[in-house]
Amino acid sequence: MNNKIISKKVIAEFSNTRIIRIEVYSPIISEHYKPGQFVIIMVEEKGERIPLTITETDLNKKTISLIFQEIGYTTKLLGNLKEDDVLYHIAGPLGKPTEITNYGTVVLIGGGVGTAEIYPVAKSLKEEKNKIITIIGAKNKNLVILEEEFKKISNELYITTDDGSYGEKGFVSDILKKLINQKIKIDLVYAVGPIPMMKVISEITKCYNIRTLVSLNTIMIDATGMCGSCRITYDGKINYVCCDGPEFDAHKIDWEEITNRNKTYLKQEEYILKSSFCKHI
């Protein structure tokens, strides 16, 4: 049955944070998907629509895999579903695919659940014979994801944790600075993670004139370019992340605007998590 959850696994857990992988039966999306693309899902009929990156597809099983972190109402609702449950709706594949070509040496940087979003791109760039240097960062050891998968496709893999419980203590940007200081020739940086992380990476690479792509996590509703919720200013012009992205040249983004716009519904998001409406999840 379309949109049925075929498998579900909690791949990381710490305190009240869980990162979950689900595999969903979706023949049309799995057939048309290209790396860098995402879907918009609705867990239930009256629920909101949330964007999630497609991490992997299986053409034999006709499935797509999604990896998500439970951070608010809808991701928690999704995390509570079980195998054999059926998602109300999935639209996709959406967004422009990543340009997969031979760049040379590519540094891929994933912060938190952004690590799941760089994985399909890293895998495809490896197949195009790029040298893959991966840097993944997490708050602590328990929240590091996809380490084994990245070991298989990376020429070099660096892991950082904020508290030093695994890998190197510090941030992904510290490793990037080290690589730059070692005068390693970097042809492209590809980063996905929280907005402050991508902004810092962008500031560093701008100084060294290193081409940098980021996949933006703006708030999205319709993902058709109609509602305007994902609007950004890019190279001085209005762009919509759902249709013109989600990938953009990091050096042309108005980072302050994105930071502010992503806080638009903070009060409502906090309210719904605390309200009785949320008690059943």
Ligand X SMILES: Cc1cc2nc3c(=O)[nH]c(=O)nc-3n(C[C@H](O)[C@H](O)[C@H](O)COP(=O)(O)OP(=O)(O)OC[C@H]3O[C@@H](n4cnc5c(N)ncnc54)[C@H](O)[C@@H]3O)c2cc1C
Interface segment toward ligand FES; rule CB under 6 A; list 127-135, 151-159, 200-208, 226-234: 226-234
CA of 133: how far to CAs of 104, 109, 150, 257, in Å?
11, 9, 10, 30
Pairing of strands 89-94, 156-161: unpaired
| Binding of residue 42 to ligand X (CB under 6 A) | no
Question: Is 113 a residue that touches ligand X (CB under 6 A)?
Answer: yes
What letter does residue 265 receive in the DSSP assignment?
A: T
Work out how close the CB of 105 gets to ligand X at its nearest, in angstroms, rounded to a whole number: 25
Q: List the single partner that 255 binds among ligand X, ligand FES, none, CB under 5 to 8 Å by kind.
A: none
Could you say which of 242, 250, 253, 258 contacts ligand FES (CB under 6 A)? 242
Q: Which of 65, 75, 134, 212 binds ligand X (CB under 6 A)?
A: 75
Distance CA 91, CA 275 (A): 29
Quick one: which segment of 23-31, 48-56, 146-154, 206-214 binds ligand X (CB under 6 A)?
48-56
3-state secondary structure of 168: strand
Q: Considering beta carbons, is residue 6 or 281 the nearer one to ligand X? A: 281
Beta-carbon contacts of residue 138 (< 8 Å; ≥ 6 apart): 12, 112, 115, 144, 145, 159, 160, 161, 162, 166
Task: Kindly state the helix (H) or strand (E) to which residue 57 belongs, with its residue range.
Answer: strand 49-58
Binding flag, residue 205, ligand X (CB under 6 A): no
Nearest to 67 by CA among 157, 166, 149: 149
CB of 224: closest distance to ligand FES in angstroms?
Answer: 6
Examine residue 230 and tell whether it contacts ligand FES (CB under 6 A). Answer: yes
CB of 84 to ligand FES, least distance (A): 30
Residue 259: how many other CB atoms lie within 10 Å: 12
> Measuring CA to CA, which residue among 210, 224, 81, 218 is closest to residue 133?
210
Minimal CB distance residue for ligand X = 72
With beta carbons less than 8 A apart as the criterion, state whether 213 and 189 touch: yes
Residue 69 interacts with ligand X (CB under 6 A)?
yes
Residue type, 106: V
- The mark string for 233-252 relative to ligand X (x by CB under 6 A, - otherwise) is -------------x------
Binding of residue 269 to ligand X (CB under 6 A): yes
Residue 251: CB atoms within 10 Å: 16
Which one of ligand FES, ligand X, none is in contact with 75 (Cβ closer than 5 to 8 A by kind)? ligand X
Q: Decide if residue 27 touches ligand FES (CB under 6 A).
A: no
72 contacts which partner out of ligand X, ligand FES, none, CB within 5 to 8 A by kind? ligand X
Q: How many chain residues are in contact with ligand X, going by CB under 6 A?
A: 24
Q: Any contact of residue 223 with ligand FES (CB under 6 A)?
A: yes
**Number of separate helices (H) and strands (E) present in the chain:** 9, 15
The residue within the footprint of ligand FES, chosen from 29, 78, 191, 220 (CB under 6 A), is 220
